Structure 1
Amino acid sequence: MKRSQWIATGLGIAGAWALGSVALAETQVAVIAQGLSNPRGLNFAPNGSLFVAEAGTGGTGGCLPSPEDPTQQRCYGETGALTRIDPTGVAAPRRVVQGLPSMAGPGGFAASSGPVDVDFFGMSAFVVMGWGGDPALRQGVGSKSALFGTVLRVLPHGGYLPVADVARNESRFNPAGGPVDSNPYGILALPGRRVIADAGANALIEARGWWDCLHAGNDRTLAVLPPTPAQLEPVPTSVVQGPDGFLYVGQLTGAPFLRGTASIYRVPPHGGPAQVYLSGLTAIVDLAFDRSGNLYVLEIARGLVPGPEADPGVGAGRLLRKRPGEAPEVVLDNLVFPGGVAVGPDDALYLTNFGIFPDAGQVLRVTLD
């Protein structure tokens, strides 16, 4: 497959929108954390604590051509983190795991590699480390660069242990064919296994085991996403389990990220053909179900590349709600490169905003009365 791409266009909208604009009259929005570095996926632990994956700002270490633009460099640093967020917004964010590898462009913008999502099974946190490119290129970039493309299990007192090498699965099997490319991006923790949406491999990967699971044979491909009707790359970014037990997979699609070309796929719990569940969406970056079975869809932007007609909404993200049996409705609009969404134990929605910015990322709490 072709390399999945993030095109960070439309940065000028950042000054115009901090909270997004409310689309439903009953929606209330509050900033509960800010100053984060490239915040992406977030999730709640069973005890009600909220954690967000910060992809970091790269650094001054080894550099490689950016997967978004080969004429630009992304450089290595150990600035990634897993951060605890106070859902009330009273306490300041606290990085509970620090020093994770990160690669970003000039100024620390648009980190393409590093911690990008987190999920819990019991009180065990699992962090997925994005990469973006041929896994062989990880070697020698930095002292911890072998952690790119893996899943980390968080240990007490800020430690961590790699328990799956998702990128290696792409090197060994390349399930979708084409150039070897891995970018693990979304993770779902289930009993005895983790399911990972690999945006570079265009596949859904299952990693089994609990402790030292880097040996061969602990992972397999659950599904390969088909090309979009416009023959764009699928680029799966997110995976959640629905009330019916099936896996629901959101896709970014590849460049030029045309409006209406992204879909949500439904995959049997233990693998099988990916069937379209909902189409006509754009640049999906995350999904979440609430306790009523409503599906929330986070679009990073309404088309990252302007179309033939001028559109001031290009570059603006939005949050949609899909009630069972109904068409999607917009909950929140004009977000700035949001990175993840989660439903809290209080039934509020929590999402990251300014997700490709160094030291300017936010966590928002969205309440639907």
Structure 2
Amino acid sequence: MRVTRASMSLDDLQNLFQTGIESCTSDNPANRDGPEEASDFERLMGPVLPECLEVRCQVQDSDCRTDSFGTLLRPLSRYEVSAAIKYASACGAAALPSSAQGTILRKLRLRRERCQSGIQGLDFVDHNSLTSLPPQLPPQLPQSSILNLLKSIRTTPYETSFLSRLCGRRLSTDSGLVAVDWETRSPWMELMTDVREHYSYAHPASSQSFEDPLPIRYVSLQPSHLPQVHELLARVFWDGIDVSDLLQSSPERCSVIAMYGKVVIGVALLSSAQETYITYLAVRAGWHNCQIATTMLYHLIMLNPYSDITLHVAANNPAMLLYNRFGFKAEEFVVGFYEDYLDSQSRASMNAFRLRLRR
């Protein structure tokens, strides 16, 4: 009946106790409840108990883990779990347990119920019962007829397309690039998209050319921009404006030009790097309400961080709100400032405010 380490288990130990007690009680039924029963139990447990305790220590050592602080921890035994639940329940009757104590008590009770019902934890899930992914099909090569159809599609060469006239035949890097905006969508851009979609719906049989989206680029004034800049300023302000002399006085600090492809859609100019007076701020029609003027004014201010910036704005010009958001303050009200520039029938006010942004 000797129990070795290899055969040590609770079932064998229970069978050993049951066999020993039955053999003792069957020999002497009168001593079943007498004091000799304890001596029989001690006699049976005497040779088994040392090895049982040794194996128990080995099992506990194998289950020990080290936490992040280097402390050696081991799982609680069933007796320790029951004792902890009993102690916590007794203490909870006198005072309300804390949230941490309540959480520990619930976990201990759950662990005891699982052990009693034989439910295993998540570590013992049968992975073979999980649904596996469907097998991946090998990639199929396109048929030669499909490739021939794709190659037979006729497209407009870039050199003779509308996109080349808009962007130029040779895409060159802009000198004096300030910023690039890929997110803004203006009413003009939406209109052009609708025109192309309407044409494709009306002529489904004709070949369609797809245009790559273009960003709005903010650059310094270049000689190639002058014709479009003069045209834009004449449309927004008055005829005869010439800013070509600005090319000789630090255009990288005194100008911000908004470009869509090769089209000038916005202008922001200073008189000079020394005076820092905003002479013109204009946006092409169809590109309003897109934060283009705000972006140009922001970069123009950032290009001159150590100088006060001044300007005049008509008294009824909504741009006053834009300048106020950037911190411009009115210093003077000038009567008849625009009398020499505006037509007498113009709706713009002849009076102006002088604004200053102090740095």
TM range (shorter): under 0.3
Q: Which has the higher helix share?
A: 2
* Greater relative contact order, per chain length (Cα 8 Å cut-off, separation 6+): 1
Instruction: Tell which structure's C-alpha radius of gyration is larger.
Output: 2
Question: Normalising by structure 1, what TM-score?
Answer: 0.23
